[in-house]
Amino acid sequence: MKQYIVRRIGYCLLSLFLLSLTIFFFVRVTGDPATLLVEPGASPDDIAAIHHQFGLDRPLLVQYGLFMASVLTGDLGQSFYYRTSVFELYWSRLPYSVMLATAAMAFSLLLGIPSGILAAVRVGRFWDSAGKVFALLGLSLPSFWVGLVLILVFSVYLGWLPSSGSGTPLHLIMPAFALGWYFAASHMRLTRSSMLEVLGSEYVKLARLKGLPQALVIGKHAFKNALIPVLTLAGINFVIMISVAVVVETVFAWPGVGRLLYEGVAFRDFPVVQGTVLMLGAMTVTVNLIVDILYAVIDPRIRLAS
Amino acid sequence: MPNAPLLELENLSTHYVSAQGTRVVRAVDDVSLRIHAGETLGIVGESGSGKSTLALTIMRVLPPAARIVSGRMMFEGEDLLHKSDEEMEQVRGRRIAMILQDPMASLNPLFTIGNQVAESIRAHEGASRAKAWNRARELLKAVRIPSPETRVRQYPHEMSGGMRQRIVGAIGISCEPRLLIADEPTTSLDLTIQAQYLKLLRDLQQAHGLALIFITHNLGIVAKMCDQLAVMYAGHVVESGPVSRIFNAPAHPYTEALLNSIPRMSDDRERLTAIDGQPPDMSRLPPGCSFAPRCPRAFDRCLQMAPPETVTEEGRTARCWLAAPVLNTNQPALRREAV
Amino acid sequence: MSTSAEILTLPSRPPRFAFLRGLRLSGFPLIPTVILVGIAFVAVFANQLAPHNPEVGSLAARFKPPFWETGGTMKYLLGTDQLGRDVLSRLIFGARVSMVVGITAVIFAGVVGTTLGIISGYLGGWVDQLIMRLVDTWLALPALTFAIFLAAIAGPSMWNIVIILGITYWTRYARVIRGEVLSLKEREFVRLAIVAGCSKWTIMRRHILPNVINSAVVLGTLMLGVVIITEATLSFLGVGVPPPQPAWGLMLSDGKQSLMVGRWWLTIFPGVCIMLMVLSANILGDWLRVKLDPQLRQL
């Protein structure tokens, strides 16, 4: 198992390296980075100063070295708009994103898992077809449109829920629904196929042969086994949720890192954009690594395989 | 001493229907069997002959594509076919138990051994957790698993194949059923462990007065374990009766071929005899006797009409034109050398 | 011979919603295909079909609701937006953007991804490792974030968006195609070609490529929906196809401003268009996947 973990860590580091390289590369390749690094409306003198400050007149390798050096020390630059360190900005906003992702994840599991089980147990019949429709809709409706429609119905017409901002749990309901909708469909599909596989297994057959009541067979034997792949996916999806929440946070003005990214883009605040993307990428890669390691610890087959 | 059979199957048929309803596989076709209390019935056949489907039919745990289309199933005088699902749940595990072939697959990897053994006891007898776990420990002892106290808390993957199969056996007898169906329980075990396991089954049977249906493809096991025998081919029972009489004088060419194909130390033959041909495609059976294409004694009528099941002597049946009583006077009974 | 006449297990009745299945699985999905062809048609003939100029509006006619509401007129069937531009015309021209960007991006990603997938799968070795590491990294970062990043630093233009979407999504192809190539490599006809002395490139081009086209096409239809949603998202965030060119996502962004005062038509109609197009692409892709290659079911 140690070998497995070491290898995973190696991949993680390699991915982080490639991530930084990709970001570095694309910034350079789309034009003069100075125009990005400088505030909008700056004079040619400022641009020259930026060239010097960021070493843009030095060889690429040196530039990359400088870039990595500052990144690794947590210096992601200063936001033009907020005038504070991007790093601090990111961490101050992250809790909100985590909150939203948690609520959305809870919703997606509460909706996805039971409907997946229902679809599997009633395979080929009504609930299964309904499930398939649900899965399609989940894939085909953009999350931000779901959010907009929700605002239309619940804020404008019914006046029940607030349409933007944070602060009360009521503020969380619609964004969580809009964000979680796609993942609910994805979790439903996986639950269904996992459940179908488990229902066809020998141990479920034996459980039925033992004369256990149907509810016990499904609720105890099938359920727990079917849930494993789903929870694994959910773990990986959690971080993805934080990243794709950018649109939902924008629609609902929810102060998370997604909205931070949007602000950076809208205000041409390049340090924010670059810093946020770097952090999001690093976070995703790291969490994937943690999930991989947890898997190795929990699943005895991997544990014993080394 | 005529006593009523414990389990009686009459003209039982189970068909698999494809999703569009186009292909029908007659997995179990017009099967009639009976078994009495304390008896051991062996069911022998190649894979695909319908033995496992027959067992699942008795338990009424068939996959959705399968349907019992006709026949009767009586257990202790009760009609099994018309019981509701809840009533069958009372029968399964408690009055009729079944053990499956692959013990690694039949045990849930996420629950402890104790949990899985105690489960039936709790479900069927409403026993408390403590009582059920105590019984579980006793059962593990009864199936000769060393140090049951520690084993009871372990998980299936921590045990060897032989131990797992014993645990499955423990689960089987946990609620004192009258009938135990064993579907190829030794096929996935090492040869050295097989003998021990068979002995265990026999001892359990005698201790609990169990009737045993033993499904296998291995005639050697049948010789050791079984009183009665039913030979299946392509969904039919082609021959049935007491083991010793069948082994001495098989009535059906398939049975004879099976017996001939067992290599013996005393054989003078230089080559192994296998049965010619391939097992039939169950979705496209030929008209007439399904064994006819491979039968060394087939004649015209065999290829045209399927033979009915006939009673050849007291307690024996055969499904073969050669065994019809009308022909007994002209046709010498099939014989083989004494064992 | 006694036979009990009852059937003892429930006969299966055709499910009540069988028509849904017909829409999707066994039969050809007619409606989705019609919708997609319809949108393509509209995209091509936008100039002829649109009643008004989508980019220029008259301020006097701002915020008119659809014709069936009070205050609406037949002149602007589906209403107007904040600049007095006809919604219907903008929807029609938006179809062009979605179609062009969607299809081009999918083809671009497909070509790059399939090529690299074939090279990676067939050549193996360090080339394979390098490409796969790149793919893994790229896949680790959520596509949307990456696309936003690229769109923010590149200039706003339609072709930039196409390139960005291509760069973002080629990895999906590469992974799948590489898997197929790995198993194709072991097949008889490839071995024969090697023995016959064909060069690596010839084999890849003439033997491997035709056999993976199926998967690439199926993947393409499935990716079309994803790409269109991403394009709409980019437009919504303001980094997509630049105004005044109409894109459905951009219309949604504009519409958001006046959502709170109940101008629902600016939000509902563009969203419905996106939904119809993506839904149709997904249904078609599902059907293709089942029909063309059962092995792809795990996609």
The pair of structure tokens assigned to C174 is 């590469």
- How many whole angstroms from its chain centre is CA C98? 9
Q: Are A217 and A121 in contact (CB under 8 A)?
A: no
In the DSSP assignment, the letter for residue C86 is: B
Among residues of chain C, what percentage have pLDDT more than 70?
Answer: 88
**pLDDT category, B304, cuts 50, 70, 90?**
confident
Alpha-carbon distance B23 to B11, whole Å? 22
Mean pLDDT of C165-188: 86
Instruction: Give the three-state DSSP class for B181.
Output: strand
Round to whole Å and give the CA distance between C23 and B54.
39
Query: Among the ranges B132-141, B265-274, B304-313, which has the highest mean pLDDT value?
Result: B132-141
In residues, how long is chain C? 299
- Whole-number pLDDT of residue C12: 40
Indicate whether C39 pLDDT > 50. Answer: yes
Residue type, B19: A
So what's the pLDDT on residue B328?
43
Could you tell me how many CB contacts below 8 A there are between chain A and chain B?
Answer: 65
The pLDDT of residue A59: 73
Q: Which of B17, B53, B84, B89 to mutate to test the interface with A (most CBs of A within 10 A)?
A: B89
Q: Does B81 contact chain A (CB < 8 Å)?
A: no
CA-to-CA distance for C17 and C19, rounded, in angstroms? Answer: 5
- Asked if C48 is an interface residue toward chain B (Cβ–Cβ < 8 A), one would say no
Asked if C8 is an interface residue toward chain B (Cβ–Cβ < 8 A), one would say yes
Distance CA B311, CA B234 (A): 20
Tell me what the mean pLDDT of segment B295-305 comes to: 85
Q: What is the pLDDT of residue A40?
A: 64
For A131, the enclosing helix (H) or strand (E) is helix A126-140
Nearest CA in chain A to B58: A209
Burial of A235 (0-12, 13-18, 19+ CB in 10 A): middle
H/E element, A137: helix A126-140
pLDDT at B271: 61
Per-residue pLDDT of chain A (306 residues; tens, 9 = 90+): 678 788 888 888 888 888 888 888 887 776 666 666 666 666 777 777 777 666 666 777 777 777 787 777 777 777 777 888 888 889 999 999 999 999 999 999 999 999 999 888 887 788 888 888 888 888 889 999 999 999 988 888 888 888 787 778 888 899 999 999 999 999 999 999 899 899 889 999 999 999 899 888 988 889 888 888 888 888 888 988 998 999 999 999 999 999 999 988 888 888 888 888 888 888 888 888 888 787 777 665 555 543
Q: Is residue B66 less than 8 Å (CB to CB) from chain C?
A: yes
Q: What residues of C are in contact with residue A149 (Cβ under 8 Å)?
A: 267-268, 271
Are β-strands B179-183 and B96-99 bridged in parallel, bridged antiparallel, or unpaired?
parallel
Domains of chain C in start order, with CATH, are 105-293 (1.10.3720.10)
Q: How far is B288 from chain C (nearest CA, A)?
A: 19
* pLDDT score of C1: 32
Smallest Cβ distance to A211: which of B91, B109, B157? B91
Count Cα atoms within 13 angstroms, Cβ side, for B29: 23
Q: Which residues pair with B24 in a beta bridge?
A: B17
- For the segment B127-142, the average pLDDT, to the nearest whole number, is 90
Asked whether the beta carbons of residue B89 and residue A201 sit closer than 8 angstroms, the reply is no
pLDDT at residue B335 is higher than 70: no
Continuous H helices in chain B: 51-59, 85-91, 103-106, 113-125, 129-142, 148-151, 161-173, 191-208, 219-225, 243-248, 253-260, 300-304
Q: Of A11, A139, A247, which is closest to C237 when you measure between CB atoms?
A: A247
Q: Which domains does chain B have, with CATH numbers?
A: 38-66+83-234 (3.40.50.300), 241-264+271-339 (no CATH)
Provide the token pair at B48.
Answer: 């695909």
By C-alpha distance, the chain C residue nearest A275 is: C149
Return the C-alpha torsion angle C272, C276, C278, C283, nearest 10. 150
Give the position of tokens 């249904």.
C283
| CB count in 10 Å sphere of residue C205 | 13
Tokens at residue B72, please? 């009767």
Residues B76 and B55: beta-carbon distance below 8 Å? no
Omega cis (within 30) before C244: yes
With 50 as the cut, is the pLDDT of residue C5 above it? no
A221, closest residue in chain B (CA to CA): B108
Number of Cβ within 10 Å of residue C210's Cβ equals 9
- The CA distances from residue B323 to B12, B319, B320, in Å, are 22, 7, 5
Residues whose CB falls within 8 Å of the CB of residue A252, separated by 6 or more in sequence, listed in order: A147, A151, A163, A164, A165, A171, A174, A175, A178
Of A289-303, B73-87, B138-152, B312-326, the range with the lowest mean pLDDT is A289-303
Alpha-carbon gap, residue B75 to B58, rounded angstroms: 9
pLDDT of B45 higher than 60: yes
Identify the residue with better confidence: B235 or C190.
B235
State the DSSP string of C220-279.
Answer: HHHHHHHHHHHHHHHHHTT-SSPTTS--HHHHHHHHHHTGGGT-THHHHHHHHHHHHHHH
What is the Cα–Cα distance from A61 to A66, expressed in whole angstroms? 9
User: What percentage of chain B carries pLDDT values higher than 90?
Assistant: 27
pLDDT band, residue B273 (cuts 50/70/90): low
What gap in Å lies between CA A100 and CA A177, rounded to an integer?
10
For residue B17, what is the enclosing H or E element?
strand B7-17
CA dihedral over A137, A142, A143, A145, signed as positive or negative: negative
Pick from A237-241, B51-55, C62-66, C227-231: least confident: C62-66
- Quick check: A209 and B100 CB within 8 A? yes
Query: How far apart are the C-alpha atoms of A155 and B187, rounded to whole Å?
Result: 66
Say whether pLDDT at B265 is over 70: no
Please tell me which residue, C172 or B267, carries the higher pLDDT value. Answer: C172
- In this prediction, residue C89 carries a pLDDT of 87
Query: What are the chain A neighbours of B111 within 8 Å (beta carbons)?
Result: 220-221
pLDDT at B239: 92
Residue B295 pLDDT exceeds 90: no
Q: With CA atoms as reference, report the closest residue to A40 among A246, A264, A262.
A: A264
pLDDT for C6 equals 32
Q: Amino acid identity, residue A14?
A: L
C234 to A248, C149, C237: CA distances (angstroms): 13, 10, 5
d(CA A120, CA B67): 20
Q: Which residue of C has its CA nearest to B72?
A: C4
pLDDT of residue C32: 87
**Closest Cβ opposite residue B81 in set C1, C8, C11:** C8
Confidence of residue B182 (pLDDT cuts 50, 70, 90): very high
Does this model's pTM top 0.95?
no
C-alpha dihedral (B113, B116, B122, B125), degrees to nearest 10: -100
Query: If you average pLDDT over residues C135-143, what whole number do you get?
Result: 78
Name the residue of chain C whose CA is nearest to B21's CA. Answer: C12
For tokens 């009673």, the residue is B311
Centroid of chain to Cα B306: 24
- Maximum pairwise Cα distance, chain A: 84
CA gap A202, C213 in Å, rounded: 38
3-state secondary structure (DSSP) of residue C28: coil
Backbone angles phi, psi at B315, to 5 degrees: 85, 5
pLDDT band at B266 (very low <50, low <70, confident <90, very high): low
Q: A31-66 as b/e, with b when 16 or more CB fall inside 10 Å?
A: eebbebbbeeeeeeeeeeebbeebebeeeeeebeee
Give the C-alpha distances (Å, rounded to integers) separating C215 from B6, C292, C295. 58, 8, 9
Look at residue C18 in the predicted model and tell me its pLDDT: 40
pLDDT tier at B269 (50, 70, 90 boundaries)?
low
Using alpha carbons, select from C216, C207, C225 the residue that is nearest to residue C279.
Answer: C225
Residues of C whose CB is below 8 A from A265 = 148, 151-152, 237-239
Mean pLDDT of B229-241: 92
User: What confidence tens digit (pLDDT) does each residue in B195-226 have?
Assistant: 888 888 888 888 888 999 999 988 888 988 89
* Minimal Cβ distance to A18: which of C133, C229, C278: C133
> Are the beta carbons of C8 and B68 separated by less than 8 Å?
yes
Question: What integer pLDDT is reported at residue B332 of this predicted model?
Answer: 45
Task: Give the chains touching A; criterion: ≥3 Cβ pairs < 8 Å.
Answer: B, C
- Prediction ipTM score: 0.84
Contacts of C134 (CB under 8 A, 6+ apart): A18, C171
> B237: distance to nearest CA of chain A, Å?
24
